[in-house]
Amino acid sequence: MKTPLRTLLASALLGAPLLCAPMFATAATALTPEQTLDLYARVLIEDDAAAARTLNDAMRSAHDGKDAVTPTPGALAKALAEPWMALQASVGGTPDAAATEAMYAKVLKASTCRATGSSIEDNEYVDDQKIATVDFTCKVVDLASVRPLFADSMTSEDPASRTRFIEAYTQALKSGTQRTVKGSQKLYSGAGQAYWFSGSFDELVTAVLESIAPFQLWMVDAEAASAPKVTGVPGCDLLLQQHRSCVAKIAPEQISGVDAMADELKAKAQVKSADEMTQECKALRPIAQMMWTDECA
């Protein structure tokens, strides 16, 4: 069971860039940071053709009359559907590709993300340009009832436990029950704030994908349950445990660096929220992994 579930979220995230066209353009009619984020949310997540037209109409003059965005409708739903169907097939099911993609498309369309405000500061690296931090909320599917079944399916040797999880997850997606998540996305201005752009809308899209397919996050929490409680944040504590174990094997003389890292994260956890710490440790993980070798597996 571990292989398909571990690849589900990764596959979905890898599919996200398929939707992304160049994300910077000069607007004939300037859009605010909030308007820019809302339109991209509708294009990238909801497959909203009207939003794509609005973006292109506003930005076409900077592209010699060409469209600024060329989304691929259904790409994100397909990216989510493929690994999920592989999991269904692993328990003897016969997945319906069209129905599964339609199910995810409906969930994505309902996952509305909208800006709630922004703060703007000078871009210290580029003269006369600004950086906007746009806060947003998303209405996403509520999978709280599914999590215990997921945990059971990970520890039980009974194939029926996986089937129960699959059925419950599918029903939860179809139920329409939602919860709200928050996030922020940085946008960068062109000269005179005539337009706002980002090289990637990962923060926005990931907020939705990790809500629809939270299995990697759930596995981290489960694995972190036995890790020493240094920060109290599962993702950070697991990273510290894994990094300490690895360094102890390959470079024990550098263990003091792990201690310093632990002290720094512990101090930050006193003043930052759990969500902020989770994101920080998620960004820190690939940096730590750069020094890990096969001995750390």
Q: In what order do the strands lie in the sheet with 130-141?
A: 113-122, 130-141, 178-189, 196-197
Residues with Cβ within 8 Å of 52's Cβ and at least 6 positions away in sequence, in order, are 43, 67, 69, 71
Report the predicted TM-score, pTM, of the whole model to 2 decimal places: 0.78
Which one-letter amino acid corresponds to residue 291? M
CB atoms within 10 A of CB 263: 11
C-beta of residue 296 within 8 angstroms of C-beta of residue 250: yes
C-beta of residue 57 within 8 angstroms of C-beta of residue 233: no
Parallel, antiparallel, or unpaired for β 178-189 and 196-197? antiparallel
Q: State the pLDDT at residue 16.
A: 39
Kindly give the confidence (pLDDT) of every residue in the chain, 297 residues in length, as a single tens digit, with 9 standing for 90 and above: 443 433 444 444 334 333 444 444 444 558 899 999 999 999 999 999 999 999 888 777 666 778 878 889 999 999 999 999 999 998 888 999 999 999 999 999 999 999 999 999 998 888 888 999 999 999 999 999 999 999 898 888 888 999 999 999 999 999 989 999 999 999 998 766 677 888 889 899 999 999 999 998 888 888 888 899 999 999 999 999 999 999 999 999 999 999 999 999 999 999 999 888 988 998 899 999 999 998 887
Longest CA–CA separation in the chain, Å = 62
CA distances from 297 to 4, 234, 244, 253 (A): 19, 20, 13, 20
Residue 3 C-alpha from the chain's centroid:
20
Give, as one character, the DSSP assignment of residue 227: S
Parallel, antiparallel, or unpaired for β 113-122 and 130-141? antiparallel
C-beta of residue 141 within 8 angstroms of C-beta of residue 103: no
Phi, psi of 92 (to 5 degrees): 90, 10
CA distances from 257 to 32, 44, 69, 73, 204 (A): 44, 41, 45, 47, 33
147 bridge partner residues:
none
Q: Enumerate the H helices of 16-96 as residue ranges.
A: 33-44, 49-59, 75-90
C-beta of residue 190 within 8 angstroms of C-beta of residue 129: yes
Tokens encoding 229 = 């409680």
DSSP assignment of 43-62: HHTT--HHHHHHHHHHHGGG
Residues with Cβ within 8 Å of 195's Cβ and at least 6 positions away in sequence, in order, are 24, 25, 26, 27, 30, 31, 36, 59, 62, 189
Q: State the pLDDT at residue 177.
A: 93
Q: State the pLDDT at residue 125.
A: 84
131 bridge partner residues:
121, 188
